[in-house]
Structure 1
């Protein structure tokens, strides 16, 4: 019998002492459960991804010191430890795992396949390791491919050929839609090729724009799902394995049902915001509550993440703010139980207009005056943030950020955006879903938290009389479908026209997408949920003369 504890935990990048403390507590819990070995996620002592922080010699030394302390502590006769850290050998720095038991360092293994695509750029900071052999642990030969190592066949096959009996995979795999299915496919392919059972241990938690969803699992040698841990929660879970004539098989382990995609998206947005606020030690958040769908959804996410006592909503009305919006914002704040204040901006807007009047004389009013309103709101909210220390949440959706339907230094002000990677149609879907659902582990109330009128009414920035979004943009169902093609799929404009979209509309959306790049570069970070998040995923030049022919 081999009892293996999976530590699905939430480390903080750079907090080596805090991560070591987490490891100690987890090991203590694993010992109480009777574990022989506890497995931590990729680069656990450093936190993942450490990016260029990992190049600092003092940081590498701190991680090594933490490892040495853990190694010494295994001399107490409790569980052995398999833990990730950056490890230097000579002039080469590796993404590594260390195995310790009975007070000794049994061995180090280095990651071979370094991902260098999408959100990953590990080749920037690490050297690839040599093909590994198994590590001996209490009479069992453990193969330890690290994360990307199982996305190709070479490392796992090498481990099987050199005598590994069980594959244990420490991971730092971030959330995106349908990612858990892809992980399962990759792991299954390795089991098929090697004939070995596999344990997939993933971290959980938010790190900047990435959210790690956990969802650790195991596959038996017969390719069946052996155990499944939940997503978006920290857990130390015990699995028990028995060696039989056909190798190792699971005899004990958890089996949970995973959330559907909409629920997973919501929990990713909540966890991403919570960890960004908490890990950066903000006391809470402030946001402008306009009476519109985007700010209402962000307020609901913030309350679910932090609790109503840490969320401050502010209405900033001007002459174009409708009585309907005032009523909807107040009703939303009441449903969520948050502090709600009203700060009229008329005096500040009109003072700005008077100040600029001599310079603007002879020029008709246009979008400039509209943007003054937005920038006064942004400045006001930043002042509240500065005064009370709460982080300003910005509330623009992916549709708006795609086409530049946002005001730089106005409604784009803020420290973090939980809906940055959600198109407008998805915002509506999530609002309806949250009114009907409340997953476990959230701080917000059950029931209707976003007033139905907010969902039903036509969206408007309310920067001029009678303004509606659709006066400027195509209907959101059409806009989002075109954007999904241009952004997520890199579909050509001609192919989109061939799919049935109007040529003029595609051409206009493509132009808006490209010319708004400079705004996106200055936008707040926000949670990644799609495969083409603006920022780490999609990196287009600001100066860009390319346009697809239609």
Structure 2
């Protein structure tokens, strides 16, 4: 049996585009494949929020199932869409053969399978909208073979009460087909294959995933494709380049094939920009970037230029009396290398005017953090003013560690239409900078900005600085805080403190930095950890107001990592562990 596996670029709430693309793949593969397989929710998109509760929208999607059934004339189609039974909504897979619904031996549920395992974590809110499937795991009949169909989470059954895959395998099908809308995050490639192999299927297992970009409002989510056909030890990989592709595979006789996307993180960010720009900003605005001469803004503007072309990009540098020559030179270097339109708009006079205006309210002394924030907000004000003059949008340049620690000024550098680097640690931003220079075969991102991770610390040619005061440098301990914050978002503070007490922390990726940053001293370690925890807690209100973040991990701020504004609280065990460390 030959299957055409279509890694459709599914566009949320754009049924016309999705159906047109599906028709083009049907025309392409009609004569070469027995079944043409499309991904989960391929008709209207998966991440459409409370549009699932919009009756008009659901009626349209349901009606399009009949359209697709008619499109199956002369072939067979599998696709994902909504189903409604007894006024309950389901996530469903449909199977039509030559204009008719596929059948089972029992005669039940002709033409559809209902998703049974409903993800309710990270980006997913399935239980908010859908009911779970009603227990029918019987295969469909097609050309003398038994075809089992399942949907995405039905494969990822760890932590659930039962395994749909195992219930399907009990029917001795000839093939199991999983249609998915499974977002890409780091290490997703190995996770997919491991989950399939864990099922120990003795028959071909087919996994069809979509490509493109969808969003949850707070998170921009990427789909890389990465579909698989697995039988025993043979694995056939489809492209995982984030671009729409298809392949015809004889599931009973296929070769091993690897498909490794080079520089995957770079490619993810490029496609996130392109797809977000095309689907949510269809009027083609200029992208305005505040070019500080630092690493984050340099990588942001280089990615935007690569993704959209220099004609769509406007860089603005906004020096103050604290701006160093090296950062000015870095900013001009980028404009010369990448060729984007570049403007210098000094903020000194605006800062003086703001300080003078405040004196009318009897605020005669403006200094310290207040003075720094005035500068940051005036930079944001300048960028927004430029964007209104050129009908543009502003990019947000912040990285994940800055977002975590609230190292951004509200209505200043926290503004923007999209936070491209908002789920990347500083070290990951450095990795992307190196990849950009490799791809462009030139030192576009200045080498003095790119961190070097040494044995015990991180070296910089020019240490990061907001340049809002004299001799100011960022307070982060780069490398160390990157890993500490990732740990605190995904693991136990108690476990971290315990590992410090028993010395096992030195055998972890965090441990190599302790000596270099002086955190082998227990008091310094505790003081720093408590500063990180306190600062992360204080910054929740800023993160709530952040632009949508391009998500590359399961714990991206937004809907993947959800937060409430609450007072800081340490458990009794945590307090005891802090005391024990201080007594070392």
> TM-score when scaled to structure 2?
0.86
Aligned-pair distance for 1:393? 0.7
Picking from 501, 508, 513, the partner of 2:531 is: 508
**1:257-287 deviation digits (Å, cap 9, x = unpaired):** 3136xx2122112212221111111514111
Query: 1:62 maps to which residue?
Result: 60
Query: 1:137 maps to which residue?
Result: 142
Aligned-pair distance for 1:304? 2.2
Give matches, 1:246-285, under 5 Å: 249-251=252-254, 255-259=257-261, 263-280=263-280, 281-283=282-284, 284-285=286-287
Within 2, Cα distance between the matches of 1:4 and 1:57? Answer: 34
Query: 1:182 maps to which residue?
Result: 191
Paired positions, count:
523
Picking from 318, 331, 342, the partner of 2:344 is: 342
Within 2, Cα distance between the matches of 1:490 and 1:312? Answer: 43
Within 1, Cα distance between the matches of 2:487 and 2:237? Answer: 37
Query: 1:197 maps to which residue?
Result: 204
Is the Cα contact below 8 Å between 2:236 and 2:258 reproduced in 1? no
Query: 2:555 maps to which residue?
Result: 532
Is the Cα contact below 8 Å between 2:315 and 2:342 reproduced in 1? yes
Is the Cα contact below 8 Å between 1:16 and 1:62 reproduced in 2? no
Query: 1:109 maps to which residue?
Result: 113
Within 1, Cα distance between the matches of 2:25 and 2:192? Answer: 25
Moved over 6 A (4+): none
Query: 2:107 maps to which residue?
Result: none
Is the Cα contact below 8 Å between 1:5 and 1:30 reproduced in 2? yes
Within 2, Cα distance between the matches of 1:322 and 1:329? Answer: 11
Query: 1:12 maps to which residue?
Result: 11
Q: Are residues 1:286 and 2:288 paired?
A: yes
What is the SS of the residue equivalent to 1:65?
Answer: helix
Q: Are residues 1:409 and 2:405 paired?
A: no
Picking from 70, 77, 82, the partner of 1:81 is: 77
**1:414-446 deviation digits (Å, cap 9, x = unpaired):** 01011001111221222123212x3xxxxxx44
Within 2, Cα distance between the matches of 1:257 and 1:108? Answer: 31
Query: 1:52 maps to which residue?
Result: 50
What is the SS of the residue equivalent to 2:479?
Answer: helix
Within 2, Cα distance between the matches of 1:52 and 1:496? Answer: 44
Q: Name structure 2 gaps, 5 residues minimum.
A: 103-110, 451-460, 506-513, 520-524, 579-584
Is the Cα contact below 8 Å between 1:291 and 1:328 reproduced in 2? yes
Within 1, Cα distance between the matches of 2:194 and 2:483? Answer: 28
What is the SS of the residue equivalent to 1:466?
Answer: coil
Aligned-pair distance for 1:186? 0.8
Aligned-pair distance for 1:230? 2.9
Picking from 466, 476, 483, the partner of 1:461 is: 466
Q: Are residues 1:23 and 2:22 paired?
A: yes
Query: 2:541 maps to which residue?
Result: 518
Within 2, Cα distance between the matches of 1:434 and 1:482? Answer: 27
Is the Cα contact below 8 Å between 1:232 and 1:268 reproduced in 2? yes
Query: 1:167 maps to which residue?
Result: 176
Within 2, Cα distance between the matches of 1:506 and 1:158? Answer: 47
Is the Cα contact below 8 Å between 2:140 and 2:147 reproduced in 1? yes
Within 1, Cα distance between the matches of 2:295 and 2:557? Answer: 21
Is the Cα contact below 8 Å between 1:488 and 1:531 reproduced in 2? no
What is the SS of the residue equivalent to 2:178?
Answer: strand
Is the Cα contact below 8 Å between 1:173 and 1:203 reproduced in 2? yes
Within 2, Cα distance between the matches of 1:364 and 1:14? Answer: 49
Give matches, 1:451-490, under 5 Å: 451-455=446-450, 456-469=461-474, 473-490=475-492
Is the Cα contact below 8 Å between 1:335 and 1:450 reproduced in 2? no
Q: Are residues 1:146 and 2:156 paired?
A: no
What is the SS of the residue equivalent to 1:167?
Answer: strand
Aligned-pair distance for 1:377? 1.1
Within 1, Cα distance between the matches of 2:362 and 2:528? Answer: 33
Aligned-pair distance for 1:496? 6.2
Within 1, Cα distance between the matches of 2:390 and 2:363? Answer: 39
Comparing 289-298 with 301-310, which one deviates more in the overlay? Answer: 301-310
Within 2, Cα distance between the matches of 1:546 and 1:293? Answer: 35
Is the Cα contact below 8 Å between 1:30 and 1:236 reproduced in 2? no
Picking from 213, 226, 246, the partner of 1:215 is: 226
Within 2, Cα distance between the matches of 1:433 and 1:89? Answer: 50
**1:215-273 deviation digits (Å, cap 9, x = unpaired):** 111101x24313443332210211123xxxxxxx2336x8233136xx21221122122
Within 1, Cα distance between the matches of 2:204 and 2:527? Answer: 55
Within 2, Cα distance between the matches of 1:168 and 1:130? Answer: 19
Query: 1:238 maps to which residue?
Result: 248
Question: Cα RMSD between the aligned structures?
Answer: 1.8
1:364/1:128 Cα in 2 relative to 1: closer, same or farther (>3 Å)?
same
1:490/1:384 Cα in 2 relative to 1: closer, same or farther (>3 Å)?
farther
Query: 1:206 maps to which residue?
Result: 213
1:461/1:118 Cα in 2 relative to 1: closer, same or farther (>3 Å)?
same
> TM-score when scaled to structure 1?
0.91
What is the SS of the residue equivalent to 1:251?
Answer: coil
Is the Cα contact below 8 Å between 2:238 and 2:247 reproduced in 1? no
1:399/1:514 Cα in 2 relative to 1: closer, same or farther (>3 Å)?
same
**1:155-206 deviation digits (Å, cap 9, x = unpaired):** 122222224210111011111111121111111122x1x4121111111112
Within 1, Cα distance between the matches of 2:527 and 2:205? Answer: 52
What is the SS of the residue equivalent to 2:17?
Answer: helix
Within 2, Cα distance between the matches of 1:219 and 1:545? Answer: 48
Is the Cα contact below 8 Å between 2:226 and 2:237 reproduced in 1? no
Within 1, Cα distance between the matches of 2:490 and 2:229? Answer: 31
1:160/1:361 Cα in 2 relative to 1: closer, same or farther (>3 Å)?
closer
